[in-house]
Structure 1
Amino acid sequence: MIGASLNGNLKYPLPSNIEEEKHWLQDPQYLLRYMWQSNYRAPIEDKLREGNAKILNICCNYGTWTLEMASDYPNSHFTGVDVAPIFPSGLTRSNVKFLQSNILEGLPFASNSFDFVLVQLFGNIFTEKDWEDQIIHEIVRLVKPGGWVELTQPDSKYYNCGPNFERWNDALLNHLRLKDINGSICENFGRLLTSTGQISRIQHEIVIGPIGSWGRRAGELGASYAHQLSRKMKPWIISYLDITEEEYNEMMIKAEQEFNIHRTYMSTHRFVGQKINSF
């Protein structure tokens, strides 16, 4: 388990001005990178620098990770895929391309095409059955023998919650369950990768992210993300709890006051594994 208390000179520091903070709040990739102090964990640095490595970023969102990696490793090739076309649509870099495609329908690439496949920050949009029957197998299909897969996702369950935030979080998790979505599916990635019979050397790490000013600047950003999520989920949670909008708003005001009293935090899981060479 990796702690979130980061000090000294950081490779990826916190935002230094209001404009940077706006970008951070729009795209959680920035906070994720800060928490891990890396863009990836798989041992592919040499391959990336040698050039001609083929990298796939599934659920690329705004394309932040894909573009930054393409800039850091100009001799390798990066493809970002997402079901929603929120990634850059204009000309970016010669070693980058973006594609709108749904992994549940199969991605338009041949088997064994990529040296590294990354999936992260996909949100709670896939059911547990989707993961078990389709997604994990599609990820493994696309990576070359000897290549690496990496899955990184925050757990939707928060820890050390006060009574109001606990109520909200329980409602969120139960709302997801009604849609057959496991908000803590990230805990199962190791089992899912193992079940394919094609992934070895699986490593699991967890990083803790504070929620609230008790965690200083990083905790304040974590609280901002939690606040944004509470606004997004408001209609569903109001319906699930059968409360008024006024009651919901009051609950969330109290919930956010509880962050520092209880030292609320979240956890993010990262799994890395290598596809077995076939002879």
Structure 2
Amino acid sequence: MGNNKSKVKRTLSNSSKKHHQNSQYLLSKESESRNLDKEKELTYYLSNHNDEDIDRQHFNHFFRKHIFQNNFSVPIEEGLIQGGCKVLDIGCGPGSWLLDLASKYENSYFFGIDIKPVYPNEIKPKNLEFCEADMFNGLPFPDNEFDFVHQEVMSFIIKADQWNYVISELIRVTKPGGFIEIVEYISPENSGPVLTNVYKTHFDLCLQRGVDMSLIPNLDKIIESHQNISQVHRDERSFIIGPNGGKAGLVIQDIIITFNTSDLATDDISSKKGISKEEYKNMILRDFKNELKITKPKLKVCRFWAQKNA
């Protein structure tokens, strides 16, 4: 009897252990599936490994540089030239902004972080370092570390309830007397029906993920609400999208088209609109381009910058 009971106990124990292992495996696979879905959902908003996306990021950098006629609005150039300044770029992508600055200001030090390591690891200036990190887990740097902390075009990524945390982290790692700068595009005005439709679809898709694009024009007020910040400045530029905006208009037209016709963007937006991928691509490559010939939609890019209280 004792031996039979032991066998039953062992059988029940093994069965229970096997059930637990199966449950853990299923939970693990479910979690992995959710993470893959989340990664897929965000992929076309992030810098990816494909050459087309990296080229778009580089063009975007040089476009903004052309529009502002400089790489930043904070009054730190003299310090960068003298040397010893430490600069951090959050969500650096392929490192376009940092590569430009590190080559120009050889006596200062530059650091970039991104959740996806698409930045160069080998061929880069000696005063530039990159690391892989998720800003939503906290910036991997001590308090009061940098003279200038910079972040560009993250409005598609940061959820409405994350902005205060992200800004608090920017301020935390900035030295007293140092500067923060956030750069974002603001939705176009005077748009034709095609562009209005595309932007509304992006807006709705973002809201599904908790991202509220309507917050962007008021980022200065959000930054100003934080401790250690007394005044926030807006350096804003506007330009016409398309051929009626000259060379700059044609460049931003190509950037917008490349962004909106990537495979993943096509999948998400055509599905949201309930049309085929072919219909959607025709809308962007034909209807949108034709619309820009007769309209003058105005797009703004704004640098929100502030100095941390000494």
Interval of TM-score (by shorter of Structure 1 and Structure 2) = 0.7 to 0.9
Contact 1:24 1:30 in 2 (8 A): no
Is the aligned partner of 1:258 residue 2:280?
no
Partner of 2:116: 84
Alignment partner of 1:117 is 2:149? yes
* Equivalent residues in 2 for 1:21-170, closer than 5 Å: 25-27=56-58, 28-122=60-154, 124-132=156-164, 134-155=165-186, 157-170=187-200
Match for residue 4 of structure 1? none
Task: State the alpha-carbon separation in 2 of the partners of residues 256 and 235 from structure 1.
Answer: 20
Give 3-state SS (helix, strand or coil) of 1:158's partner: strand
Task: Report deviation, 1:231.
Answer: 0.7
Residue 207 of structure 1 deviates from its aligned partner by 1.0
Aligned partners of 1:128, 1:78: CA distance in 2, in Å? Answer: 29
How big is the shift at 1:26? 4.6
State how far apart, in whole Å, the 1-side matches of 2:223 and 2:78 are.
24
Instruction: Kindly state the Cα deviation for residue 255 of structure 1 after the two structures are TM-superposed.
Output: 2.1
- Quote the Cα distance in structure 2 between the aligned partners of 1:272 and 1:207: 14
Distance 1:66 1:185 in 2: 27
1:252-274 deviation per Cα after TM superposition (whole angstroms, max 9, x unaligned): 22122111312123111111100
Considering Cα pairs closer than 8 Å and 6+ residues apart, tell me whether 1 or 2 has the greater RCO: 1
What is the identity, as a one-letter code, of the residue corresponding to 2:131?
Answer: L
Task: Among all aligned residue pairs of Structure 1 and Structure 2, give the percentage whose two residues are the same amino acid.
Answer: 28
Paired residue for 2:223, among 171, 175, 193?
Answer: 193
Deviation at 1:120, TM superposition (A): 0.8
Where does the alignment leave 5 or more consecutive residues of structure 1 unmatched? 1-21
RMSD: 1.9
Amino acid at match of 2:301: T
The one-letter amino acid paired with 1:39 is N
> For 1:165-180, what aligned pairs fall within 5 Å after superposition?
165-180=195-210
For the pair shown, the structure with the greater C-alpha radius of gyration is 2
State how far apart, in whole Å, the 1-side matches of 2:77 and 2:54 are. Answer: 27
Structure with a larger share of its residues in helix: 2
Provide the aligned length of Structure 1 versus Structure 2.
Answer: 255
Check conservation: 1:161, 1:258, Cα contact below 8 A.
Answer: no
TM-score by length of 1: 0.86
**Structure-2 change in CA distance of 1:24 and 1:250 (3 Å):** closer
Tell me if the contact between 1:54 and 1:115 (Cα under 8 Å) persists in the aligned partners. yes
1:241 to 2:276 alignment: no
The 1:26/1:271 distance shift into structure 2, 3 A limit, reads closer
**Secondary structure, in 3 states, of the residue corresponding to 1:223?**
helix
Asked if the contact 1:111/1:141 (under 8 Å) is kept, the reply is yes
- Work out whether residues 127 and 181 of structure 1, in 8 Å CA contact, stay in contact via their aligned partners in 2: yes
Amino acid at match of 1:212: G
Deviations 1:89-134 (A, max 9, x none): 11522211111111101121100000110111335112111112x2
Tell me the equivalent position of 1:223. Answer: 253
What amino acid is aligned across from residue 246 of structure 1 in structure 2? E
Of 159-168 and 144-153, more deviation after overlay is shown by 159-168
Between the aligned partners of 2:240 and 2:56, the Cα distance in structure 1 is: 16
Q: 1:170 to 1:60 in 2, by over 3 A?
A: same
Aligned residue in 2 for 1:276: 309
CA distance in 2, matches of 1:84, 1:185: 25
Specify the code of the residue in structure 2 equivalent to 1:50: Q
**2-side partners of 1:175 and 1:164: how far apart?**
17
- The alignment's TM-score, normalised by the length of structure 2, stands at 0.78
Shift of 1:24: 5.8
Unaligned stretches of 5+ residues in structure 2? 1-52
Residues 198-213 of structure 1: pairs in structure 2 closer than 5 A: 198-213=228-243
